Amino acid sequence: MSATNPLPPTPCVVDTVVLAMFVDAGRPDLLQALAGGLVFLTPTVLDPAQLPPFAGPSLSEFGRGLYDAEQQLGDPLLARRAQRRTVFYGSAGMIWQPVALSVGEVRLARYLASPATRQAARVIDPTFRALRIDPGEAECAAVAINRGWRLWSDDQAIVTLVRTLYPSCVVERLCGLLVRGVSEGLIGCAAAAHLYNAVFKSELRLWSRLTLDCQDGNATCR
């Protein structure tokens, strides 16, 4: 019997929060390993037509964070952010790849960001309380929904919206990504707990009620 080649992993489209956490922490390698290949980025998250150094604020969310950091290089945290994000821009084709939205995906992104979509979510789930959906998250969700890709986001509003209206779309959040990384042997449990609790939450100011815990080498989000 001949061996069969495993199917390639489903592509993932990554929002700004998830991208920024891994890059600013100096772990784009782990981001790529979790993706099982390239991560895909939409123009609102990272615009490949605008490369650093920027003469002014970037149109993309990731680029704006880089530009803001460049204005405060006396702060060690922001200096590291500027350096790491600049290096990441140069890893196109190796770690990340831009994705252009189709006309239908642009329309879907606009719909996802509209009040009508939030009202539709409240009809299904009366506990849905988001007042707005940001453009970058809506754009990533539109690509994931339309193409059957995985959505990597840690934005509560878009995560809840997608899980309510498009339950077949696979959504992965930061803590869950690291738990999966531990189970797949991509990172040790203690290292994952440090990355999430000490680096993402404490150093990089990720807002989250979750804590990544280890027990007998197994990771859980609590």
Q: Please give the average per-residue pLDDT across 74-90, as a whole number.
A: 97
Per-residue pLDDT tens over the stretch 28-66? 999 999 999 999 999 999 999 999 999 999 999 999 999
DSSP string covering 142-196, please? HHHHHHT-EEE---HHHHHHHHHH-TTS-EE-HHHHHHHHHHTTSS-HHHHHIII
Q: Is the pLDDT of residue 6 over 70?
A: no
Contact 95, 39 (CB under 8 A): yes
* Global pTM value: 0.95
Instruction: Please give the span between the terminal C-alpha atoms of the chain, in angstroms, as a whole number.
Output: 45
Rounded to whole angstroms, the Cα distance separating 8 from 145 reads: 19
Predicted pLDDT at 131 = 87
Per-residue pLDDT tens over the stretch 13-36? 999 999 999 999 999 999 999 999
